[in-house]
Amino acid sequence: MDRGALIIQITDDNFTANPKRAIKICNELENRNLPLFFVFSARSDDLLSDPEFIPSLAKANFLRAAIGVETPDEKMSRQIGKGISLKQHKLAFDGLRKAGIYTVASFIVGLPEETEQIRQNYVEIACELADSVTFVPFLPLPGTEMDDGSVTPQVWSVECAAKLTREFRQNPKNIERLLQAAKEPSIRGILARRSLQKRIAENILDNKL
């Protein structure tokens, strides 16, 4: 911040892993010379652990949150060690949005036991949750329980992830959410406008919007 940084990204995989520590950091930062906003990663269950957590993040300009939903299917969520329910995700994302925090969710495509029926619901669920979403192909990390020696994801999962991401970006429900957010004189409004501008440039949206 001494160098005049406008945006600072916290590279911790999960800034919210220790809620008490994170809230303390936010409180320390609150009355200092803050950047325009912090970019951080979080887990929904951590964000819900203390009612003061999300407000503290917003006051300290932690205004862009990336959250790994991975899968809305609770059985698969438990299998990959996440164990967070869709209800918890909804509560966390709703709380972030009400606090003026722009939300980015990520989903994994091609998890073991994932079915076509489950995948068909991904975009609709993503639209209920987040301002922005990325679908990524499943590739088990080396040393994890699911490690099968793969070095690249399966071709079909790469193509499916790209397809779902595109469908989300074209979805009227998400576009309407961004249009509403874009009216706000806030960081979330700025990020929503930027997202809409990208979609116009990519011919996903009509410039008249």
- The answer to whether residue 125 scores a pLDDT higher than 70 is yes
Q: Residue 69: phi, psi to the nearest 5? A: -80, -40
pLDDT tens track for 157-177: 999 999 999 999 999 999 999
C-alpha 25/C-alpha 28 separation (Å) is: 5
Question: Has residue 18 got a pLDDT over 80?
Answer: yes
Average pLDDT, the chain: 91
On the question of pLDDT at 144 being above 80, the answer is no
What ranges do the domains of the chain cover? 7-201
Tell me which CATH code domain 7-201 carries.
3.80.30.20
Averaged pLDDT, 35-56: 96
Q: Residue 166's pLDDT is what? A: 93
Write down the pLDDT at residue 161.
96
Question: Is the separation of the CB atoms in 85 and 73 below 8 Å?
Answer: no
Token couple for 43: 């887990």
The closest of 52, 88, 51, 50 to 67, measured between CA atoms, is 88
Q: What are phi and psi of 6, to 5 degrees?
A: -85, -35
pLDDT at 2: 56
89: enclosing H helix or E strand: helix 86-98
DSSP summary character for residue 96: H
Q: Which residues of 45-77 are buried (b: 16+ CB within 10 A; e: fewer)?
A: bbbbeeeebbebbbbbbbbbbbbbbbbbbeebb
> b or e along 149-163 (b: 16 or more beta carbons within 10 Å of the residue's beta carbon)?
eeeebeeebbebbee
In the prediction, which pLDDT does 192 show?
97
Indicate the pLDDT class of residue 1, thresholds 50, 70 and 90.
Answer: very low
Q: What is the pLDDT of residue 112?
A: 86
C-alpha radius of gyration, the chain, whole number: 18
Question: With 70 as the cut, is the pLDDT of residue 209 above it?
Answer: no
**pLDDT of the residue at 149:** 67
pTM score, whole prediction = 0.91
Q: How confident is the model at residue 82 (pLDDT cuts 50, 70, 90)?
A: confident
Mean pLDDT of the region 128-145: 86
Residue 46 has pLDDT above 80, yes or no: yes
